[in-house]
């Protein structure tokens, strides 16, 4: 079968939080065939399966039982070109930011606002990654997945994926699908998306007149680096909580008390609040608790100062959730997946 299964593999370097927990067994797969072999092996031994992409959206709460399958397939291609768009396809194991760079090198536009997001392409649809005014679902065409229920390959288009803010079918039905490859529809002419005010200001400051996706990508990288810790230096999983969506009435009541509270009305009438603002107002920004803490530049990000266990991260997260609920009556929902333990 040719699968190299490693026993008791330390996952410390395979998750951006830098939490050192062991996978009972770990295997890296580079093709559909190897994936099927790995799943068959797990079925044969009745091992639970955990899929691993870039490990950038997970908290390891303990040892991971069964078989952990690291998706390492590579490959990217242009499938179709028309006058104003291209359809590209890439394998699930591709690094997201490198894929963004490849599209920009080819003169394809649409991913620049999503530059520097850690993780793999295959994980991107799971949480419908989004940043600086753009969400993956806007450029998403379809994906090919293995349905573990039926054992069949299936193609899922945008509506089948049920994308919403940091949500999708793959979060609603965890474990059912393995995403194998993703198709994105990109533009051949720049169409800058400058809805995010600090990005618009940074673009203005360049003095450039002609839209330039590469420059926008660099500005996005600069903004990200100024607020978000580099996981190589300080373990983290990006935003630890989702920005809460509130019914308009509840949000308006809060705004009467805190008129400066950032808020974003949504198409469905609900209002999105900034969890980072709530956490900062509750006094947690920069807070350290042993080996974990709340990032100094962005209160939405919990960090590992070195050697932290998942349980320490979760204790801090729960204390923040409880405090924000008491102060604002708002429930914060954790964003990364809790794995193991």
| Residues assigned a catalytic role | 166, 239, 335
> Residue 130's closest CA among 142, 107, 113?
113
The CB-of-113 to ligand EPU minimum distance in angstroms stands at 8
The CB-of-247 to ligand EPU minimum distance in angstroms stands at 19
CA distance 268 to 282: 28
**Interface residue with ligand EPU, options 3, 194, 215, 274 (CB under 6 A):** 274
Looking at residue 244, the DSSP 8-state letter turns out to be P
Closest residue (Cβ) to ligand EPU?
238
The CB-of-262 to ligand EPU minimum distance in angstroms stands at 4
Segment contacting ligand EPU by CB under 6 A, of 27-35, 148-156, 177-185, 276-284: 276-284
Segment contacting ligand EPU by CB under 6 A, of 147-155, 182-190, 206-214, 270-278: 270-278
Q: Give the nearer residue to ligand EPU in terms of CB position, either 30 or 280.
A: 280
How many residues bind to ligand EPU according to rule CB under 6 A?
Answer: 19
Q: Give the nearer residue to ligand EPU in terms of CB position, either 34 or 243.
A: 243
The answer to whether residues 100 and 145 touch, using CB atoms and an 8 Å cutoff, is no
The answer to whether residues 25 and 9 touch, using CB atoms and an 8 Å cutoff, is yes
> Residue 201's closest CA among 177, 178, 226?
226
Query: Helix, strand or coil for residue 207?
Result: coil
The answer to whether residues 197 and 264 touch, using CB atoms and an 8 Å cutoff, is no
The answer to whether residues 54 and 96 touch, using CB atoms and an 8 Å cutoff, is yes
Query: Helix, strand or coil for residue 133?
Result: coil
Asked if 168 interacts with ligand EPU (CB under 6 A), we say no
> Residue 303's closest CA among 320, 319, 286?
286
- Sole residue written with tokens 């039905």: 173
Site mask for ligand EPU (CB under 6 A), range 218-247, x = bound: ---------xx---------xx--xx----
Site mask for ligand EPU (CB under 6 A), range 285-314, x = bound: x------------xxx--------------
Q: Which of residues 118-157 bind ligand EPU (CB under 6 A)?
A: 131-132
Looking at residue 250, the DSSP 8-state letter turns out to be H
- Return the biggest CA–CA distance within the chain: 64
Interface contacts to ligand EPU, rule CB under 6 A: 131-132, 196, 227-228, 238-239, 242-243, 262, 274, 276-277, 280, 285, 298-300, 335
């Amino acid at each position: 079968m040719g699968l190299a299964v490693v026993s008791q593999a330390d996952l410390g370097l395979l998750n951006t939080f830098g939490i050192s927990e062991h996978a009972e067994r770990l295997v890296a797969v580079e093709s559909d065939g190897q994936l099927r072999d790995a799943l068959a092996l797990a079925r044969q031994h009745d091992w639970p399966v955990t899929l691993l992409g870039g490990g950038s959206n997970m908290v390891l709460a303990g040892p991971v039982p069964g078989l952990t399958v690291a998706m390492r397939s590579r490959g990217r291609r242009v499938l179709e070109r028309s006058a104003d768009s291209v359809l590209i396809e890439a394998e699930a194991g591709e690094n997201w930011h490198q894929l963004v760079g490849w599209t920009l090198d080819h003169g394809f536009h649409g991913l620049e606002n999503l530059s520097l997001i850690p993780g793999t392409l295959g994980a991107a649809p799971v949480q419908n990654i989004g940043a600086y005014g753009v969400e993956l679902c806007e450029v998403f065409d379809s994906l090919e997945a293995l349905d573990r229920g039926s054992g069949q390959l299936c193609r899922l288009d945008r509506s089948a994926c049920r994308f919403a803010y940091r949500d999708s079918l793959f979060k609603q039905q965890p474990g059912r699908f393995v995403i194998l490859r993703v198709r994105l529809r990109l533009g051949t002419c720049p169409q800058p998306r400058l809805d995010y005010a600090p990005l618009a200001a940074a673009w203005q400051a360049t003095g450039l007149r002609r839209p330039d996706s590469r420059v926008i990508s660099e500005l996005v990288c600069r903004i990200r680096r100024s607020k978000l810790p580099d996981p190589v230096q300080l373990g983290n999983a990006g935003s630890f909580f989702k920005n809460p969506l509130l019914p308009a009435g509840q949000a308006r009541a809060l705004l009467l008390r805190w008129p400066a509270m950032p808020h974003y009305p949504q198409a469905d009438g609900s209002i999105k609040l900034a969890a980072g603002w709530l956490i900062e107002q509750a006094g947690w920004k920069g807070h350290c608790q042993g080996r974990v803490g709340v990032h100094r530049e962005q209160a939405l990000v919990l960090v590992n100062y070195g050697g932290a266990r998942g349980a320490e991260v979760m204790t801090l997260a729960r204390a923040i959730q409880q405090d924000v609920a008491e102060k604002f009556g708002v429930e914060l929902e954790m964003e990364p997946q809790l794995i193991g333990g």
